Each structure stands twice: as C-alpha cells, then as structure tokens.
Structure 1
Amino acid sequence: MSTVTTPDGTNIFYKDWGPRDGKPIVFHHGWPLSADDWDNQMLWFLSKGYRVIAHDRRGHGRSSQTATGHDMDTYVADVVALTDALDLKDAVHIGHSTGGGEVAHYVAQAKPGRVSKAVLVSAVPPVMVKKESNPEGLPIEVFDGFRAALAANRAQFYIDVPSGPFYNFDQPGVEKSQGLIDRWWLQGMMGAANAQYECIKAFSETDFTEDLKKIEVPVLVMHGTDDRVVPYADSGPKSAELLKSGRLKSYDGYPHGMLSTHPDVLNPDILAFIEE
C-alpha cells in the first residue's frame, strides 16, 4: 500500500497508476468518501495514456485516522507533502465537492510549475454557508443537521444521502443504482467518524473567494443545475466569475454526484479541456 508521511506523522494513502512520464492528473475526493470514488475517471484517463493519482484525505479511506488536522489548511498541507514526494510537475488537479475546495486552496498557493490546469466539479467554492457576505448560502442549521445525523446513526445517514440528494435517486424519472449507493456507504464507513464530523465545518464554512481570485492557471468549473447538495446558483457561476481564467460548463438536470451517474458525458469534457 502506497503512503506518504506528512510532517506531523500522518500517513496519507494514495494510488499512482500509469506511465511515470505521462502527464499527471490528481483527483481530490468529496466528503466523506475516498480515492475509490474516482475509479471510473482513473481507469478512463489511464486508458488515454495519463498518469492518474488519487489520495485518501486524512481521516478518510485508508489514511491515518488522526485526532486533529481536519481543516482545509491541513488538508492542503497534506496535498503539498504528496505532490512534493512524487515531484509532480504541470499536473492537472480535479476536485469534486469538498475536493474542489481543496483544489482551489492548493492551486492558489502551489509552487510554480506544479499545476497546469484545474477542474472544479460540483465544488463547494466560493463558500457554502449563509452569512452577511453570502446571503444566498445555506443556513448553518443545514450543516448542524448533517452533524446531528452523523453522530446519531452514521451508518443510516450514509445510506440516506446517496439514496437521495447526492445522486437524486429519490427523484421522479431518475434510475436508481444500488451499486453506487453501496459503494458510497462503504467508502464513508471506512473513514473516521470524528474526521468526517469535523470536515463538515471545513467544507461548509471555509471561504475560498480569495483563493479563486489568486489562481492564474485555466480552470474548468462543472456543475449540475439540479445539484441538491451544493446548489448551483451559489457555487458554479460565482466561482467562474471570480477566476481570472475560469470557464463554466453547466449540466442541465444533473445531480451532485454527476461524475458517477454521467461519466460518459463528463470524462470527455474534462479530456477536451486538458488537451486544449
């Protein structure tokens, strides 16, 4: 099992497939999942000759279940440790949901030459929670509800989320995939409850506005209009507007987990952006 050890002694699990001289694509997963959520994309881009890399965030998947460090600054410090250890150059960083916030925060401060492009998919930036500077955001009570449900019965909560708003499987006309629900549950239950509980604050309250403004490389922002986890109007369009070289691509009626429900559409769109 491949791991990199961070300065505070945390072991970060990662996958690294493909030719060492291939262009690297680094995938950043959402809450409360793991690198396994990128199986489809990693296999697809591997078949196109790319070097594909994905890690488990600390407290998630196979990485160390730490008592501390469940905040965006530490998450990105872990990414720096990984990208430095692998000496990745001109990499494309792709983040989904919470992972999109991680990508924005990392790319905004990455060493010169480390990043060539970035992709934010159904991502949490600029900021999710409602506050004076973000009146269209979601009330803090929404995230308090997430925390309460996780603490009360994490196993059931991790069935309810993918069965409903994550993939919109509870909506009329949407074909349900029990396999995707089970995969989501398994990934979630592999991680640590404390890390996932604290990560709710990290993804909902971190303000990425200044990160987005700092990013110099081209960024593709992809968002489904029927995203019931990270609402479209308060995320995708706003992020694209803040970026110096951002492009918004909207997907009519697609859910939050659209990378898993519509990979046949999204993967080629990402490839086209990378190869421009």
Structure 2
Amino acid sequence: MHTVITRDGRTLAVEQWGVPDGTPVFYLHGTPVGRLARHPDDSLYTRLGIRLITFDRPGLGGSTPLPGRRVVDGADDVAAVADALGLDEFAVYGVSGGGPHALAFAARHPGRAVRVATLAAPAPRDAEGLDWTA
C-alpha cells in the first residue's frame, strides 16, 4: 500500500497489481469493501498486460473520511491518484457502489477516461422515470 494526499489534505490508500508500465485500469470497488477487492488471481493482470489500480474511498480502509461527500467527489479522488501516479489517460471500471463513481469520473474528466465500464451499479432511488423495483 502507498498513500496519496489530496488537495484538501486527506489521505487515500492505494494499491497496484500487474505490470507497472502496463495498460492502466482503475478498479473502483463496491460498497462496503475496499482497495483489496479484485480478481483473486493476480497473475491475470500480468498475463493481460494490465496495471490495476485501486484505492479506498473516503472513510473506508486506510482513507481519511470526507464528511458530506457526494458520489461526484469521488471523481476528484480518482484524478488525485492518477496525478500522483503520472497518468493522463486510463480506463475506469466500477462494480456495484463503485459504478456511479466510475461514471462520475468519466463525466467530470471526459478527456482522461479512455474507457468506462460498470457492473451491477445502482441508480439513484429518486431518479426521474426510474421504477426502482422494476
């Protein structure tokens, strides 16, 4: 684990797996798990030439809480980690509670997200036109 300090002085706990100079992919974990959640076979990333990057969202694991945070605030945390790692463009993948954070990053930093994907991501319960139980 290593840490990144955000502009507002918070600490983000970061992990990386795979090929250090491989294709960068940010994996945004579900809720309430943290940066250690990933495919259990780490050799997969090496075989695919991927540099997998994960970090704990505020208040989870080794990351400092951010009282009152919104999903969109997570976009700036992804950017802070990417900046600290010297990454301009990369893919972002979010699972479950990490899905909205991946979409928020792509919306807020469209020039940096070369690909974005989500799996089993929730939508806001009060989204217009959404039948939550459908």
* TM-score normalised by L of structure 1: 0.44
Structure 1: 4+ residue segments shifted above 3 A = none
* Deviation digits for residues 54-80 of structure 1 (CA, Å, limit 9, x no counterpart): 11111112212x251432122221111
Q: Residue type of the partner of 1:120?
A: T
* Deviation digits for residues 240-259 of structure 1 (CA, Å, limit 9, x no counterpart): xxxxxxxxxxxxxxxxxxxx
2:132 is matched with 137
2:92 is matched with 93
Label 1:89 to 1:41 Cα distance change in 2 as closer, same or farther (>3 A): farther
CA distance in structure 2 between the partners assigned to 1:119 and 1:135 by the alignment: 21
Label 1:137 to 1:42 Cα distance change in 2 as closer, same or farther (>3 A): farther
Q: Residue type of the partner of 1:136?
A: D
Label 1:34 to 1:117 Cα distance change in 2 as closer, same or farther (>3 A): same
Is contact 2:18–2:51 with CA below 8 Å preserved after alignment? yes
Residue 36 of structure 1 deviates from its aligned partner by 1.6
CA distance in structure 2 between the partners assigned to 1:78 and 1:41 by the alignment: 26
Is contact 2:14–2:35 with CA below 8 Å preserved after alignment? yes
Count how many residue pairs are aligned between Structure 1 and Structure 2: 134
Counterparts of residues 1-276 of structure 1 (less than 5 Å): 1-40=1-40, 42-64=42-64, 66=65, 68-110=67-109, 112=111, 114-124=112-122, 127-130=123-126, 133-138=128-133
Structure 2 unmatched ranges of 5 or more: none
Label 1:41 to 1:116 Cα distance change in 2 as closer, same or farther (>3 A): farther
**Which fold has the larger relative contact order, with Cα–Cα distance below 8 Å and residues 6 or more apart in sequence?**
2
Residue 28 of structure 1 deviates from its aligned partner by 0.1
Is contact 1:23–1:90 with CA below 8 Å preserved after alignment? no
Structure 1 unmatched ranges of 5 or more: 139-232, 234-276
Label 1:101 to 1:21 Cα distance change in 2 as closer, same or farther (>3 A): same
Q: Which structure has more strand as a fraction of its residues?
A: 2
Identical-residue share of aligned pairs (%): 28
Q: Which structure has more helix as a fraction of its residues?
A: 1
Label 1:107 to 1:23 Cα distance change in 2 as closer, same or farther (>3 A): same
SS at the partner of 2:38?
A: helix
Is contact 1:46–1:52 with CA below 8 Å preserved after alignment? no
Label 1:89 to 1:42 Cα distance change in 2 as closer, same or farther (>3 A): farther
Is contact 2:3–2:12 with CA below 8 Å preserved after alignment? yes
Residue 18 of structure 1 deviates from its aligned partner by 3.2
Residue 43 of structure 1 deviates from its aligned partner by 4.4
CA distance in structure 2 between the partners assigned to 1:70 and 1:41 by the alignment: 33
* TM-score normalised by L of structure 2: 0.86
